[in-house]
Homo-oligomer: A and B are copies of this chain.
Amino acid sequence: MPQNPSRVFASISPAEFFYRNRQMAGFGNPTQAVYSTVRELVENSLDSCEDARKRPEIKVEIDEAPSGIVTITVSDNGEGLPHAHVADSFGRVLYGSKYLSRQRRGTFGLGVTMAVLYGQITTETPVMIYTCTENDEAGRTYELLIDVEKNRPIIVSSNSVKRNKVGTSVRISMKGAVARAYDRVVDYLRLTSVSTPHSQIELVRDGEKQFAIHPSSDTLPTPPVSAKPHPHAADMELLRRLIKKCAQSPLQEFLRKSFQQVGRVTSSKIIEFLGMNPQREVGDFERSDISRLSTALQNFQGLGRPTIDSLSPIGEKPFMNAVLETYDAVDVGYAQKGPSEWGGHPFIVEGVIAIGGRLRKAKTPGLFRFTNRVPLLYDASEDVMTKSLNEVDWSRYGLTKSRKVGLFIHFCSTRVPYKAAGKQSVATEAEIESHLTLLYKELGRCLRRMTKVKKKRAQRIKEARSYSQQLALIAELGAELSEEDEVPSVHSLVEQLFEVNLDV
Taking Cβ atoms with an 8 Å cutoff, the residues of A that contact B are 1-4, 6-14, 16-17, 19-21, 23-24, 28-29, 51-52, 79, 82, 85, 88-89, 92, 94-97, 99-100, 102, 108-109, 120-124, 133-135, 148, 225-226, 235-237, 287, 290-291, 294, 379, 381-382, 415, 417-421, 427, 429
Contact = CB atoms under 8 A, between A and B. Distances in A.
Contacts of A291: 123-124
A135 B1 contact: yes
Contacts of A6: 51, 100, 102, 225-226
Count this chain's copies in the assembly.
Answer: 2
A8 B99 CA distance: 8
Contacts of A290: 124
A420 B417 contact: no
Nearest to A52: B4
A26 to B, nearest CB: 10
Contacts of A236: 120-124
Nearest to A290: B124
B10 A95 contact: yes
Contacts of A379: 382, 419
A417 B99 contact: no
B381 A12 contact: no
17 contacts: A6-B102, A7-B97, A9-B82, A9-B88, A9-B96, A12-B109, A14-B14, A17-B94, A21-B108, A21-B421, A23-B427, A24-B419, A120-B236, A124-B287, A124-B290, A124-B291, A381-B381
A427 B28 contact: yes
A120 B82 CA distance: 37
Contacts of A4: 51-52, 79
A235 B121 contact: yes
Nearest to A287: B124
A11 B415 contact: no
A409 to B, nearest CB: 19
A7 to B, nearest CB: 5
A97 B89 CA distance: 30
Contacts of A20: 415
Contact of A381 (B24, B96, B97, B382): B382
A420 B24 contact: yes
A99 B381 CA distance: 32
Contacts of A29: 429
Instruction: Across the A-B interface, give the 10 residue pairs with the lowest CB-CB distance, nearest first.
Output: A420-B420, A121-B235, A1-B134, A11-B95, A381-B381, A14-B14, A23-B427, A124-B236, A121-B237, A9-B85
Contacts of A421: 21, 24, 420-421
A351 to B, nearest CB: 23
Nearest to A238: B121
A94 B13 contact: yes
A123 to B, nearest CB: 7
A418 B100 contact: no
A167 to B, nearest CB: 14
B12 A82 contact: no
A102 B135 CA distance: 53
A214 to B, nearest CB: 27
A291 B175 CA distance: 11
B237 A120 contact: yes
Given A13-B94, A122-B235, A100 B8 contact: yes
B417 A23 contact: yes
A400 B427 CA distance: 34
Contacts of A99: 8, 10, 12
B24 A89 contact: no
A136 B135 CA distance: 63
Given A1-B135, A236-B120, A7 B51 contact: yes
Given A12-B95, A379-B419, 11 more contacts: A3-B82, A6-B225, A9-B85, A10-B97, A11-B109, A17-B94, A23-B419, A24-B419, A122-B235, A379-B382, A382-B382
